[in-house]
Amino acid sequence: MLDKIRFGVFLPFYVFRTEKRTSQLFNRLQDAVLECERLGYYSFWLDDHLMLNKMPILECWTTLSALSMLTEKIRLGTMVTCNSFRNPALLAKMAATLDNISNGRLELGIGAGVQKDEHNAYGFPFLSAKDRVERLSEAVEIIKKMWTEEKASYSGKYYSIRDAVCEPKPVQKPHPPIVIGGGGEKLMLKVTARHADRYDWGYLPSLEHYKRKLKVLEKHCETVGRKVSEIEKSCWPAGQIFIGEDRKELKERVMQWVPKGVSLEEFMRTNFVGTPEDCIKQLQQYMNLGVTQFMLFFGDLPDLKGLRLFAEKVVQKIS
């Protein structure tokens, strides 16, 4: 397993919702991605939504392809691709293509899908949680086969392919990292145990919650005959990160970040608000558990101040 600490930046389209023209939306996103690369972040991640109320959002795979041509080193990922939106054989082909044109920089985050209204609006069936997770498991099997076999065949409950050829294969060997998103302990963590190169549980409210899921994952790994050490540990240290040089600055700015209808106490409970030194202390708790990948969602986006301060005062001290 990797022992270098790495930081990925989550850039959901809705944080750029102030832009009314599509070109402006992409330009603001591009600026953030290029700054992430300049600052030395390991990866950036786009969300996969087709609609979010009436907000202007871009389709994530098309957008990643465009951004891959504007960057050189930073890795690019989906947090997370909704399995329901694309046939898994087609997704395998799309992902292999992007891995090639980006020279091996793709990270595939994939999940079962949770937005019922979005599925209904676009005409995708929204099955039970059990069926969606089972479909995800089959989909990942197909994707791996497409990426690694000369001709891939599969016959399952939900999907089937026959002598499917995916050429060129991904640049990364044996294949791009597969990140399974979702923390359901009975169903999703079993899929994670079987298929994931890295897990992603989203933000959890405490270190104790995180430790409990680790124990559940370990049991699932035992059941499927896999070592839990084969799966990289990832963590969201907070819902959103609001970082300032010192406590005086934070005190002056914190109220501008609190959404309407949310109390300061609730806001502070679910988000990180602190100095770089505070942040390092919080990250260290998870590093002690073996976490090597941190996902960061900066609450002041599209302003890049927090992104820059974290890179200069936290990443450089830890990485």
Taken as a whole, the chain contains a residue count of 319
Cβ atoms 301, 268 nearer than 8 A: no
C-alpha to C-alpha distance for 54 and 9, rounded to whole angstroms: 25
Residue 1 covered by a domain: no
pLDDT, the chain, mean: 95
The count of domains in the chain is 1
Q: Could you report the per-residue pLDDT of 221-242, keeping only the tens digit for each?
A: 999 999 999 999 999 999 999 9
Rg, C-alpha atoms of the chain: 20
Average pLDDT over residues 43-61: 94
Task: Provide the pLDDT for residue 3.
Answer: 63
What stretches of 177-246 show up as alpha helix (H) in DSSP?
188-195, 207-224
Does residue 56 have a cis bond before it (omega within 30 degrees)? no
Instruction: For residue 116, give its domain range.
Output: 6-318
Distance from the Cα of residue 316 to its chain's centroid: 22
Q: pTM of the entire structure? A: 0.94
Look at residue 52 and tell me if it is in a domain.
Answer: yes
Q: Per-residue pLDDT tens for 173-219?
A: 999 999 999 999 999 999 999 999 999 999 999 999 999 999 999 99
Residue 1's pLDDT is: 40
The CATH number linked to 24 is: 3.20.20.30
Task: Decide if 189 is inside a domain.
Answer: yes
Would you place residue 172 in the very low, low, confident or very high pLDDT band (cuts 50, 70, 90)?
very high
Q: Tell me which residue of 167, 297, 304 sits closest to 240, measured CA to CA.
A: 297
